[in-house]
Amino acid sequence: MKRYFNLLGLSRAALAVALVCGAAAPHTSKAQTLYNGLGGIFAVTDSMRYVRGDVENAGELNLTSAPGGSATRLFIDEGNLINTGTGTWVAGQSTVLLLGVGATPHTLSMNGASLYNVRFDNPAGTSLGSNATVTSALKLANGNLLTTEAFSLTLGPNGAVFGPAAGNQEDGTHYVKGSLLQQKAVTGTNDVNFGNMGFTLNPQGQSLTLTVDRRTGLKQQNYSYGRSRNFAGRESIDRIWRLSTPGAKDPAKPVNISLAWLADNDNDQNFDTALAQVWRSTNQGATWVREGVPQKGKSRQVTVATTHLNAWYTVSSTKAPMLTPEQLIFSAAPRQLDAVLSWSTTSKPENGWFVIDRSRDGQQWQEISRQPVAGQSWSPAASTAVDKGAGSLGQIVHYRLRQLGTDGMMRSSSMLQVRFDAPLVFNLDAYPVPMQDYLTLDLRTPTEGPMYLQLYDSNGRLVVNRQEKAPAGSSRYQLQVRDLPLGMYTLRIRQGSNTVTRTIPRY
């Protein structure tokens, strides 16, 4: 026979001790504070329950308050909340609070069960270990909630997420990362806020049911951001809204949708001085088309009219962003007493200059080269500059590459050293990996002479065969590979008795 355990009148210290009677007992295989086993029924009907450590429920855990009593609050201090696949969670109108001050994220795993109110107060954040639902309020007092790519957190029709920013909005350190869903039935001519999640719909007098799946903050292509050659910076913000209606039925006339995002989701794009463009995809991010016209994006909120409610939406800046340090590919190598400096980028900057600085000590810098971006025909092939006689300045000379924008913004590459007394060794760098439209090859060789370049596909067929005259020192070559099928390729470079082989994918 099942029994109910109602623990009343215990002190905070006593509540932190593992429960040891009946179904509520320490789990023998884990360091658990509270474990409700399979077949057990554990009821918390008093107004507050404090647990220090994990709570795991494999039976039935009931948080329904006693008649006439205050809503139950369950405090879980420095622990995880696990409702197993066999567990039944009766939330009532309770509030679960996950507290912490350490550096370890907590885990919330409900296996599809619903919480009424939940509050996260752990600076290290909380990870979602399964799908879960919050029917009322999700409050982010400290840290983010990370849903990962595998799981989603669903808000009930009247649920909402609350952060510490103005208007109870999320901010960059208090928001739901990953997938946050809500379905609402809407009607009338007023704006309807979907769960405080940065999406508002005005149905313009129509009645419809809409599901919004907001995916954000994970920097995953076609999950939280879109990629397209039509975008000024090739990528969108790190937030996608996936919309769907029952039966994939679109409205008869346009509705207004408003999209809002955090500066944390800008994805290195400039919205302070540039406009924002809304984009729509109806094929899961394979292609994107413009929705509406560019509009001011400084507030990070835009509105468009659309009849497409079974589509993905995102936003991009109309101005290409400054390149990140990872997108600035910079190399420097000696050639006798000269320094050969080469650079390339993974995408074309909109405007500005590339500047190379030189330093003897790594502290005091002198500009030695400046090339404008405007008017250059761009490809991933590198530009090259030669610092003649640099070896006469010292045994080691330092170089750095800077991208300067016309708006005063600047990005720098890492600092490189050139050693003029180091013997040259036959070596090859090939990038980017995986191959894209071009493959760039940086060769260093101690001798001058013919160099043979061969590229084979996975079946051993020779698809590229070139001969170049390689000078002693550093040189750069480029292969156009955009027409090659996707797959694995073998690159072989030979000069005299020196041979180097690389396996390079294209996908």
Instruction: Give me the DSSP letters along 327-360.
Output: GEEEEEEEETTEEEEEEEESS--SS-EEEEEEES
Q: Rounded mean pLDDT of 68-79?
A: 89
For residues 109 and 75, give the distance between their C-alpha atoms in angstroms, rounded to a whole number: 16
61 vs 351, more confident = 61
- Indicate the domain borders of the chain: 1-143, 179-321, 322-422, 423-507
For residue 1, pLDDT over 50 is answered with no
CATH number of 179-321: 2.60.220
Residue 53 pLDDT class (50, 70, 90 cuts):
very high
110-164: pLDDT as tens digits? 999 999 999 999 999 999 999 999 999 999 999 999 998 899 999 999 999 999 9
Residues 6 or more apart in contact with residue 97 via CB below 8 angstroms: 73, 74, 75, 76, 118, 119, 121
For residue 66, pLDDT over 80 is answered with no
For residue 257, pLDDT over 90 is answered with yes
Instruction: Quote the percentage of the chain above a pLDDT of 90.
Output: 65
361-399: pLDDT as tens digits? 888 999 999 888 755 555 555 688 899 888 878 789 999
For residue 44, pLDDT over 50 is answered with yes
Residue linked to tokens 């005091």: 364
Question: Which residue, among 406, 394, 454, 405, has the nearest Cα to 430 in the 3D structure?
Answer: 454
For residues 460 and 90, give the distance between their C-alpha atoms in angstroms, rounded to a whole number: 62
> Any idea which fold 322-422 has?
Immunoglobulin-like (2.60.40)
pLDDT value at residue 420:
86
Question: Which residue, among 372, 477, 359, has the nearest Cα to 418 in the 3D structure?
Answer: 359
Instruction: Quote the percentage of the chain above a pLDDT of 70.
Output: 88
H helix or E strand, kind and range, residue 444: strand 438-445
Q: Classify residue 171 by its DSSP letter.
A: B
Q: E strands within 78-224?
A: 81-83, 88-90, 95-99, 106-109, 114-121, 126-128, 132-142, 145-146, 152-155, 160-162, 176-186, 192-193, 199-202, 208-216
For residue 166, pLDDT over 50 is answered with yes
Comparing 170-174, 293-297, 318-322, the range with the smallest average pLDDT is 318-322
- Burial 278-289, CB ≥16 within 10 A → b, else e: bbbbeeebeebe
380 vs 331, more confident = 331
For residues 465 and 463, give the distance between their C-alpha atoms in angstroms, rounded to a whole number: 7
pLDDT value at residue 274:
83
Q: Same CATH fold, 423-507 and 179-321? A: no
Highest-pLDDT range among 100-104, 300-304, 316-320: 300-304
pLDDT value at residue 233:
74
Comparing 8-22, 73-87, 390-404, the range with the smallest average pLDDT is 8-22
Residue linked to tokens 């969670």: 89
pTM to 2 decimal places? 0.66
> Any idea which fold 423-507 has?
Immunoglobulin-like (2.60.40)
pLDDT value at residue 9:
34
pLDDT value at residue 63:
94
> Which amino acid is present at 455?
L
pLDDT value at residue 425:
80
214 vs 364, more confident = 214
For residues 74 and 39, give the distance between their C-alpha atoms in angstroms, rounded to a whole number: 21
pLDDT value at residue 321:
67
Residue 346 pLDDT class (50, 70, 90 cuts):
low
Question: Which residue, among 235, 234, 294, 242, has the nearest Cα to 267 in the 3D structure?
Answer: 235
Q: What are phi and psi of 221, to 5 degrees?
A: -65, 135
